[in-house]
Amino acid sequence: MKHVLTIAGSDTCGGAGIQADLKTFSAQGTYGMSVITAVTVQNTQGVFGCQDIDPEIIQGQIDAIFTDIEVSAVKIGMVSQIATIHAIADKLEQYQPKNIVLDPVMISKSGFDLMQPEAKEALISRLIPLAYVITPNLPEAEVITGMKINDLASMEQAARMIYEMGAKNVLIKGGHLENDATDLLFDGEKIVTLQSDRIQTKNTHGTGCTLSSCIAANLAKGKTVEEAVRTAKEYITTAIAHALDIGKGVGPTNHFY
Region for residue 222 given its phi and psi (left: phi exceeds 0; alpha: psi -120 to 50; beta: otherwise): left
**In angstroms, rounded to a whole number, what is the distance separating the alpha carbons of residues 170 and 85?**
20
Active site residue 224: no
Among 206, 211, 219, 220, binds ligand PLP (CB under 6 A): 206
Give phi and psi for 237, each to the nearest 5: -60, -45
User: Helix crossing, 17-27 with 207-220: angle to 10°?
Assistant: 40
Span interacting with ligand PLP, options 64-72, 91-99, 105-113, 179-187, rule CB under 6 A: 105-113
Active site residue 208: yes
The arrangement of strands across the sheet holding 73-76 comes to 46-52, 31-43, 3-11, 73-76, 100-102, 133-134, 169-172, 183-186, 191-194
**In angstroms, rounded to a whole number, what is the distance separating the alpha carbons of residues 13 and 23?**
13
Site string for ligand PLP, 35-74 (x = CB under 6 A): -----x-x--------------------------------
**By CB under 6 A, how many residues form the interface with ligand PLP?**
18
Among 24, 208, 216, 217, binds ligand PLP (CB under 6 A): 208
Contact present, 78 and 113 (Cβ < 8 Å):
no
Task: Write the DSSP assignment of 148-162 as a string of letters.
Answer: ---SHHHHHHHHHHH
Minimum CB separation of residue 106 from ligand PLP in Å reads 9
Among 14, 32, 55, 77, binds ligand PLP (CB under 6 A): 77
32 binds ligand PLP, rule: CB under 6 A: no
Minimum CB separation of residue 255 from ligand PLP in Å reads 14
Closer Cβ to ligand PLP, 15 or 97, answer by number: 15
Cα dihedral 97, 223, 31, 194, rounded to 10, equals: 100
Span interacting with ligand PLP, options 22-30, 68-76, 202-210, 220-228, rule CB under 6 A: 202-210
Active site residue 50: no
138 binds ligand PLP, rule: CB under 6 A: no
Active site residue 207: yes
209 binds ligand PLP, rule: CB under 6 A: yes
23 binds ligand PLP, rule: CB under 6 A: no
Residue 179's alpha-carbon distances to 152, 175, 184, in angstroms, are 12, 9, 15
Among 7, 33, 58, 78, binds ligand PLP (CB under 6 A): 78
Closer Cβ to ligand PLP, 78 or 225, answer by number: 78
Interface residues with ligand PLP (CB under 6 A) are 8-9, 11, 16-17, 40, 42, 77-78, 105, 108-109, 114, 205-209
Q: Which residues belong to the active site?
A: 173, 204, 206-209
